């Protein structure tokens, strides 16, 4: 069946069918044509704030932000024309100059770090460049478009870093005001804890009357951290401790509740150092709660039980699994035989798998003969 010519646009010479209401960006992505974005957050209302996604539309008076421009029949679009590339480079240079973006693309021809980079490191009290070096969308795009930001002086940021929060460091000097964190908080998680505050050069993302996150409605789900394309929002535990290329990722299922959120464990030296939500997988599509994202200390806790313990009088001592399981069998059988099966109860856990909970249900009902089975979310 031939395509409906009414609903076709041409992108870089390719005929691309579109659905009514789709933006140029959506059509391009559906046809595997890459248009870079910065402020665009999947699942949220496009804002057109950053202008990185501009494209040239033949006949249009100016470049257009593809994330907010609806496709219309017959459009002829160029995504990497000289005009587009120059505009993107300019936008990126201005962003690089808007704060402490001290990654190497500032163009140190002699190979040394520049005075600006050294000054920023002093402010950061760190001996390495930006904490998200190698994991920064702005840096990636600066390399791609060879934006060096040497043309503009760096703007000083009037706001100090916010280090008091339990899980998140806010570094306003690295914020590019893309608004992704605001959308992640207000549109994706619907926590409404942060928003834009102040005006002009003083613009800042604020929480609860410009108080730290810990004193606001923030629930530390970390959705904003995952949405931040630069180093303005960083997990406290990983900042300046581990570089992204030192980690490997393992996809797994969160063990905190029965929703089954998919997450990626970032592992360095055999230790989990960071957790991010899997953006391409149901049911959470990148979102996590505070426990799923930040509650992984227990994995390497020295207090964690690694061997079974049995009680001898007032003392607990290590035992083999065979001995411990024998004790359990004897204890349960003794209670059941002397007081009846309903004298026994079984507590499962929301932190084990469905299969394990199913087996416990079988153990309670079929083996022990009781329907006293429940779960405790805190186990
Ligand atoms: Fe379109 Fe930012 S991604 S304006």
State in words which class domain 242-295 has: mainly beta
Alpha helices in the chain (DSSP H): 24-30, 82-96, 115-124, 137-144, 180-183, 223-227, 290-294, 321-339, 354-362
CATH 3.10.20.740 location in the chain: 2-80
Question: pTM of the prediction?
Answer: 0.85
Task: Please tell me if the CB atom of residue 230 comes closer than 6 angstroms to any atom of ligand 1.
Answer: no
Nearest Cα residue to atom 3 of ligand 1: 37
Exposure string for 295-316, b = 16+ CB within 10 A, e = fewer:
bbeeeeeeeeeeebeeeeeeee
The dihedral built from the CA positions of residue 45, 49, 55 and 59, taken in this order, carries a sign that is positive
| Stretch(es) of the chain classified as CATH 3.30.70.20 | 96-241
Q: Please list the residue range(s) of the chain that carry CATH number 2.20.25.90.
A: 242-295
Task: Compute the distance from residue 157 Cα to the ligand 1 centre, in Å.
Answer: 23
Query: Which residue among 39, 87, 95, 176 is best mutated to probe the pocket of ligand 1, counting the most ligand atoms within 8 A of its Cβ?
Result: 39
Sequential pLDDT tens for the chain (379 residues) = 445 568 999 999 999 999 999 999 999 999 999 999 999 999 899 999 999 999 999 999 999 999 999 999 999 999 999 999 999 999 999 999 998 888 866 665 666 677 778 888 888 888 778 889 889 999 999 999 999 877 888 888 889 999 999 999 999 999 999 999 999 999 999 999 999 999 988 999 999 899 999 999 999 999 999 999 999 999 999 998 888 899 999 999 998 887 889 999 999 999 999 999 999 999 999 999 999 999 999 899 999 888 999 999 999 999 999 999 999 999 999 999 999 999 999 998 877 778 899 999 999 999 999 999 998 755 4
Closest atom of ligand 1 to 40 CA is: 3
Query: Which top CATH class is 96-241?
Result: alpha beta
Structure tokens at 234: 């960083």
Residue 221 near ligand 1, beta carbon < 6 Å: no
| Ligand 1 atom showing the smallest separation from residue 25 Cα | 1
Measured from the CB, is residue 295 less than 6 Å from ligand 1? no
Class of domain 2-80: alpha beta
Using the mean position of ligand 1's atoms as its centre, give its distance from the Cα of residue 36 in Å.
8
Place of tokens 């209302």: 45
Indicate the burial class of 360 (C-beta count within 10 angstroms; 0-12, 13-18, 19 or more). middle
The residue count of the chain comes to 379
Is the distance from the beta carbon of residue 67 to the nearest atom of ligand 1 less than 6 Å? yes
């Amino acid at each position: 069946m031939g395509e409906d010519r009414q609903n076709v646009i041409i992108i870089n010479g390719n005929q691309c069918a579109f659905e009514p209401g789709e933006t140029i960006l959506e059509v391009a992505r559906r046809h595997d044509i890459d248009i870079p974005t910065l402020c665009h957050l999947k699942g949220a209302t496009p804002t057109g704030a950053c202008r990185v996604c501009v494209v040239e539309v033949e006949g249009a008076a100016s470049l257009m932000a593809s994330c907010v421009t609806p496709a219309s029949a017959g459009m002829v679009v160029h995504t990497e024309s000289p005009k587009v590339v120059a505009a993107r480079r300019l936008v990126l240079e201005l962003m690089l100059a808007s704060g402490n973006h001290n990654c190497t693309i500032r163009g140190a021809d002699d190979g040394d770090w520049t005075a600006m980079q050294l000054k920023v490191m002093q402010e950061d009290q760190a001996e390495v460049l930006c904490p998200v070096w190698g994991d920064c969308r702005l840096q990636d795009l600066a390399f791609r478009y060879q934006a060096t930001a040497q043309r503009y002086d760096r703007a000083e940021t009037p706001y100090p870093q916010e280090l008091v929060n339990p899980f998140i460091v806010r570094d306003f000097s690295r914020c590019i005001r893309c608004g992704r964190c605001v959308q992640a908080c207000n549109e994706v998680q619907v926590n409404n804890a942060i928003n834009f505050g102040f005006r002009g050069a003083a613009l800042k993302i604020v929480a609860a009357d410009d108080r730290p996150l810990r004193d606001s409605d923030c629930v530390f789900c970390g959705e904003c951290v995952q949405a931040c394309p630069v180093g303005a929002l960083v997990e406290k535990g990983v900042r300046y401790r581990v570089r992204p290329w030192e980690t490997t990722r393992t996809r797994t299922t969160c063990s905190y509740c029965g929703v089954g959120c998919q997450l990626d464990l970032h592992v360095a030296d055999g230790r989990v150092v960071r957790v991010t939500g899997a953006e391409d997988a149901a049911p959470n599509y990148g979102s996590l709660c505070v426990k799923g994202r930040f509650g992984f200390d227990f994995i390497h806790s020295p207090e964690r039980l690694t061997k079974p313990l049995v009680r001898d009088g007032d003392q607990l001592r290590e035992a083999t699994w065979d001995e411990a399981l024998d004790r359990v069998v004897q204890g349960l059988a003794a209670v059941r035989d002397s007081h009846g099966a309903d004298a026994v109860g079984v507590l499962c856990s929301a932190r084990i798998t469905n299969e394990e909970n199913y087996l416990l249900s079988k153990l309670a009902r079929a083996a022990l003969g009781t329907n006293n089975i429940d779960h405790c979310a805190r186990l």
